[in-house]
Amino acid sequence: MILNIAVIKGDGVGPEMMESALEILKSVCRQFEHQLNLYPVMASGEAIDAVGNPMPEESLKICMEASAVLLGNTGLSKYRNSPQEKRPEFALMRLRKEMETTTNIRPVCIYPVLSELSPLKERIVQQGVDFVFVRDIAGGVFCSDKVKSEGEFGKEAYEYEYYNEKIITDTAAIAFELAGRRKNKVTNLDKSNVLGSSKLWRTTVQEVGKHYPEIELTHCYIDTAAMKIIESPKEFDVIVTSNLFGDIIADEGTQITGTPYLYASAEVAKNGKGIYTPNQLHHPDETMIGQQIVNPIGMIAAAAMMLRHSFGLEKEAAAIENAIRKAIEQGYRTKDIAKEGEQWLSTKQMGEKITGLLAY
């Protein structure tokens, strides 16, 4: 198969993570005899510094012609006070719009050998933590017009929590399809006891569920789920929810592992194209830049997700994921997941260890 992939190395520690991910991607494509075409893209901070635009038209054209986009870390403090359209994050926002991505997929699990890093009690962790967040990214307040005005009590600002059946159906269908490849269980999160948008969300998810009779569908209010995911994470497998709720609870779900830099994120469109990033897309510690100490596993896992979701290459994706698992089980660590006094590897060294563990 021919794989045409646009590569945005990103800001800060992004290039370091991306280097390891690309080396593993090249290796797996050699093993499975795929033609890998990588197209470097100038975007985010690099493009702002060069041409004053985080997503120049030529860069956008390369991304649109590719089958998928790999994107490293985005955002730096020096751009924090810039207008939105002049910040690195705007590149991702532009890509989402132009590629018509509808759904964010974020898998999270706790590796048993790293369970002590979780803030959860051991008895809870031992029950198992392994779920996937499926979040809409096409509707809700994040995608709304931003309204500002002067009112009776001074300045006002608000957005619209807008949804329609198509937006909800697109994301719900992805959730049910994923569940069919896992444990045949979907949990829908909403606030339908209060919000009209959530009532529409729940009824539409129920309608989609009728097309998947083998999948068990349950519902949970978002505030209840925020508690349950801590006290009994084993109850969840595929979790589907709206944009705002998903943005918050997916971060909670990641943080309860204690290892947030091990996971990936996919933003997919109905045509199969997607944007693939580390779960922690905006790495907060800028002192790590250029030090080769950032954990590359989230970016490597993103490459695996890309092979699965945009190219349908399940064996190849599994080969990378199995190599990650073996590296962790064999005791290889980067600084963020190493115990005090434990030897740890550089970004590049961890990538090399995982590459060496690739197998058919």
Q: What domains are there in the chain, each with its CATH number?
A: 1-101+273-360 (3.40.718.10), 119-256 (3.40.718.10)
Per-residue model confidence as pLDDT tens digits over 18-67: 999 999 999 999 999 999 999 999 999 999 999 999 999 999 999 999 99
Residue whose C-alpha is closest to residue 47's, from 114, 4, 100, 94: 94
| Model confidence at 213: pLDDT above 60 | yes
The average pLDDT across 131-153 equals: 95
Per-residue model confidence as pLDDT tens digits over 120-137: 999 999 999 999 999 999
Would you place residue 294 in the very low, low, confident or very high pLDDT band (cuts 50, 70, 90)?
Answer: very high
Backbone angles phi, psi at 131, to 5 degrees: -145, 170
Range 254-271 burial, b when 16+ CB lie within 10 A, else e: bebbbbbbbbbbbbbbee
**Residue 317 CA, distance from chain mean position:** 16
| Model confidence at 360: pLDDT above 70 | no
- Name the amino acid, one letter, at 2: I
Question: Among residues of the chain, what percentage have pLDDT more than 90?
Answer: 92
**What is the pTM (predicted TM-score) of this model?**
0.94
Q: Which residues contact 174 (CB under 8 A, 6 or more apart)?
A: 102, 103, 105, 134, 268
The average pLDDT across 333-345 equals: 94
